[in-house]
């Protein structure tokens, strides 16, 4: 996995380290990974499908039992990690891209904030994010990456969290490169 740290000093932003990683989010040994879910929280394609496949059938059953109404866009829900190295999965539903003038940046920023707040609630100290909304939901990666980085930075500036590390995972070279440039 290729990695890049937040800055040249020591990678610290507030109390937390932020870094970009080029790799597969399902393999990361972190407290929580974020799933770019659909609103039904019943699995799908892309990172959602990969997380469901890696976590095993218990994930779908937990979603059905604990989150029968799914998750609205911009919010977050948590489940256990099941067969993943991560202890928890934080599911968030990103916005579909409609040109950027229908509240997409605000909803995407909310995904990052709500996911980090969910991490605080469950006591996660390390959290990994995929590039939310950039594949199936059509959000241009060059538009999404600054929203992701800025939302994470703003959240971590607060002093009321115990998060030590946030990882922005680029499954492909494009997303990783964008994160690397912004960090």
Under 8 Å between Cβ of 51 and 25: yes
The residue to which tokens 């937990």 are assigned: 62
Under 8 Å between Cβ of 97 and 136: no
Which residues are known catalytic residues? 48
Domains and CATH numbers, the chain: 2-182 (3.40.220.10)
Angle at 154 between CA 158 and CA 29, to 5 degrees: 85
Q: Report pLDDT for 16.
A: 87
Under 8 Å between Cβ of 130 and 94: no
Angle, helices 46-55 vs 57-66, to 10°: value is 110
Q: Report pLDDT for 6.
A: 39
pLDDT in tens, the chain (183 residues): 544 443 322 344 457 899 999 999 999 999 999 999 999 999 988 999 999 999 999 999 999 999 999 999 999 999 999 999 999 999 999 999 999 999 999 999 999 999 999 999 999 999 999 999 998 899 999 999 999 999 999 999 987 889 999 999 998 888 999 999 999
Q: Would you list the DSSP string of the chain?
A: -EEEES-SSSSEETTEEEEEEES-GGG--SSEEEEE--TT-S--SHHHHHHHHHH-HHHHHHHHHH-TT---BT-EEEEE-TTSSSSEEEEEBPPPPSSS-SSHHHHHHHHHHHHHHHHHHHT-SEEEE--TTSSTT---HHHHHHHHHHHHHHHHTSSS----EEEEEESSHHHHHHHHHH-
Under 8 Å between Cβ of 109 and 151: yes
């Amino acid at each position: 996995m290729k990695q890049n740290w937040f800055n040249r000093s020591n990678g610290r932003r507030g109390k937390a380290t932020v870094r970009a990683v080029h790799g597969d989010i399902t393999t990361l040994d972190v407290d929580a990974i974020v799933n770019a879910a659909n609103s039904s929280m019943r699995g799908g394609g892309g990172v959602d499908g990969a997380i469901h496949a890696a976590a095993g059938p218990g994930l779908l059953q937990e979603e059905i039992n604990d989150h029968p109404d799914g998750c609205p866009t911009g919010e977050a829900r948590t489940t256990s990690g099941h067969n993943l190295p991560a202890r928890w999965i934080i599911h968030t539903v990103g916005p579909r891209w409609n040109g950027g003038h229908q509240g997409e940046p605000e909803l995407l920023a909310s995904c990052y904030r709500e996911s980090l707040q969910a991490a605080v609630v469950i006591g996660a100290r390390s959290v990994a994010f995929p590039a939310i909304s950039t594949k199936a939901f059509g959000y241009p990666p060059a538009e999404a990456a600054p929203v992701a980085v800025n939302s994470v930075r703003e959240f971590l500036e607060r002093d009321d969290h115990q998060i030590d590390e946030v990882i922005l995972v680029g499954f492909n070279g494009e997303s990783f490169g964008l994160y690397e440039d912004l960090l």
